[in-house]
Every structure is written in structure tokens, then in C-alpha cells.
Amino acid sequence: MIMPTPSVRNVFLFFMLLFCNCALAQEGLKVAIAGLSHDHVNPLLNAYQRHEVNIVGIAEADKALIRRVQDRYKLTDELFYTTVDEMLKAVKPDVVLAYNAISEHVDVAEACLPLKIPLMVEKPLAINNEQAQRIAALSAQYGTAVFTNYETTWYKSNQALKQLVDDGGIGTVKKVIVKDGHQGPKEIGCSEAFLSWLTDPEKNGGGALIDFGCYGANLMTWLMKGERPVAVTAVTRQLKPSVYPNVDDDATIILEYKGGATGVIQASWDWPYSIKDMHVYGDRISLHAVDGNTLVRYSNPRKQENVPVKEDYFTDHLAYLQAALNGSIDVADDLSSLANNLVVVEILQAARESAKRGSRVVL
């Protein structure tokens, strides 16, 4: 596995201080968009309609997709550019948000980071270690931050759970089980533009293993304070080959850590309903983040209590970016950080290799 060099690791904290000098517009965060094919762009465009964010440019080459988005969100022609390079010659955003194929994240980084424009991509960071390391090298070279956005980052339950773990409230972490997924991207009505690369192994890196396995890898790395697992074992299946003939639609990943902790990630496009939850087991009690707002503490199987969740954490990536770019928060090792997400990509690549080989992969 390719790992970051010590110089790349050491620069993470350094560049976080550098990018904080980015000037933010008085009217709010100035955002440019790279790509429209990821359906997660829709909440951002809704926020734009509510005047909660200032979109200064959109780079997209698909004319039919542009027309559909324009019609839905009443966007003017002046906002659109064919390429990211063209857009960044015309506008100077505070940050670029990438909503394109995972394989194209590195191309957006190549355009943004030499201009010292921070970048946030949708999860995961990259499709393989090679691309992830290229993004990290650019970030270090130009002293400019790269973030990765996950829905579960903004779950108050996860933030409260992490605080209890860090405070020693459950003793030693023994096992973590993370379940993420839904009925399937076609089944829940994802757009054709999204499906065109989400179900393409070259553009997405895989199927459910990548799409939902990244959540568990991200959360587990966070709980383990950035520690890499010593080994990864994965099993992937095609439960619906007629629907998803080219990629896996169900994956189980086991992460082993040197202190004895184990992470179990269950990622699937075949759940009976949408699910994103996490169980953390200590040597005295366990915690269950049921959903974004519900955290349950168990002292035995029949004794449970709801735990109050933090109300002061960010509700979404826009609020987080505003604070990060103002330099008012420490982002070096959080869920969105480059350090965390380099480990995530390494875990996902090892999981793909393990599933293909049918054996445990030692890192």
C-alpha cells in the first residue's frame, strides 16, 4: 500500500493554518461547483434558492444536464462554464465543491489547489491510493486544504458518541459495527446522470463497497484517532446482478487494529430501508447511534437510556466550511480531514483487494 511520506503527514497542520487567511465575502460563502452529476448537489442548489449560499460559478460539460438543472433551479446562463479551469479564470470562489465522479476528484484538485482554492469533494476522497496521494501532494505543495463531505459527519449522535468515547465513558473500545446503505440507487430513484458513474467500477471505484463502505471506514478511523488497521478482510456480493451487473451491491468489511479493537462495516444496496447507524462496544457499556439525532446507552441488554446529543455542532458542510475558512475551528483530524480520508481510501483499496483475492490483506 502507498502511504503518505512523513513530509506530507507533517504538513497537514501547517496548511490548515495557511488557508485560514482566505477572504470570505460579506454576503456569505462564495462557492463554485465542479460537476452536477452527483445528486448530493441538490441540497446545495436548494440552499442557493433560499439565499443561504452564494454560488459564483458551475463547471459542467453535459448540456442536457445543465438544462435540466437550470429549469429546476432557475439558474442563469452566466453561472455556467464548460471546465473547472475556465470557471476559475473567470471567478474567484472561497471554496470549490466537487459533485462529479469519484475518479474525477483528482482532476478538480489539479485545477484548484495550485490556485490556493480550498476543495471539498463528496465521499470518498478518491478511487485508489494513487489518486489520493496525488491530491495529498498537491495539498501539501500549495498549502491548501482538501475536505471530504459525508452525511454522517453532521449527525449530532455521532458527535456525542465520540465525546463519550474520548472521555473514557465506555472504557476501551472493543468492537464497532457500522451499517450504511439503502434499497439501491436505482430503487430509490437516483438520477440517470448519477447512476451513469455510480455503477461504473472505473468511475466510482466499485459499488456498495465504495459508496457505503467509506462511511464506516471514515467513522472508524475517527474513533481510532487516525490509526490505520493492521489488516482488512472483505466479502462482496452481487445480490441483484441484473440491476447492477458491473459492481458489487453488498459488502462486509472487517478491520483489525493492533490493540485488539475490531471494526465491522456492513455496506449494502440491498437493505429493506435506508440505514446509517453505528454501535460502539466498550468493556463496560455500549453506545448506539440510531440515527442523526438519537444516541442510546446500554449497560446491559435490558437497561438502556437515551443520551443527550450536542446541539452546538455544525448542521451541514456549508456551516462547517464557513468556520473552517475563517480559521475558527481545528480541522486537522476530524471526519472531513485529508489525514482521515487518506486512511479511508487505503482501507477501501485493501477491501477491494481482499474481496478479489478471497483472503485477508495485511497493511
212 and 241 belong to one structural domain: yes
118 and 179 belong to one structural domain: no
182 and 122 belong to one structural domain: no
Does 338 map to a domain? no
* CATH number, domain containing residue 326: 3.40.50.720
10 and 31 belong to one structural domain: yes
* CATH number, domain containing residue 299: 3.30.360.10
Host domain of residue 176: 152-315+345-362
In the prediction, which pLDDT does 27 show?
53
**Which pTM was predicted?**
0.91
166 and 198 belong to one structural domain: yes
In the prediction, which pLDDT does 11 show?
42
25 and 94 belong to one structural domain: yes
Residue the block writes with cell 463497497: 209
221 and 168 belong to one structural domain: yes
56 and 195 belong to one structural domain: no
In the prediction, which pLDDT does 302 show?
85
Residue the block writes with cell 449527525: 155
185 and 138 belong to one structural domain: no
Does 352 map to a domain? yes
358: CB partners within 8 A, 6+ apart: none
37 and 177 belong to one structural domain: no
Number of domains present in the structure of the chain: 2
Task: Give dist(CA 36, CA 110) in Å, integer.
Answer: 18
Closest-CA residue to 128 (of 345, 306, 275): 345
Does 240 map to a domain? yes
In the prediction, which pLDDT does 6 show?
43
62 and 193 belong to one structural domain: no
Per residue of the chain (363 residues), give pLDDT as tens. Answer: 444 454 444 444 334 434 433 344 335 799 999 999 999 999 999 999 998 899 999 999 999 999 999 999 999 999 999 999 999 999 999 999 999 999 999 999 999 999 999 999 999 999 999 999 999 999 999 999 999 999 999 999 999 999 999 999 899 999 999 999 999 999 999 999 999 999 999 999 999 999 999 999 999 999 999 999 999 999 999 999 999 999 999 999 999 999 999 999 999 999 999 999 999 999 989 999 999 999 999 998 889 999 999 888 899 999 999 999 988 888 888 999 999 999 999 999 999 999 999 999 999
> For residues 181 and 173, is the Cβ–Cβ distance under 8 A?
no
- Tell me the pLDDT tens digit for each residue of 132-187: 999 999 999 999 999 999 999 999 999 999 999 999 989 999 999 999 999 999 99
Return the SS3 of 57: strand
- Tell me the pLDDT tens digit for each residue of 310-338: 888 899 999 999 999 988 888 888 999 99
Residues 111, 122, 162: CA angle, nearest 5 degrees? 125
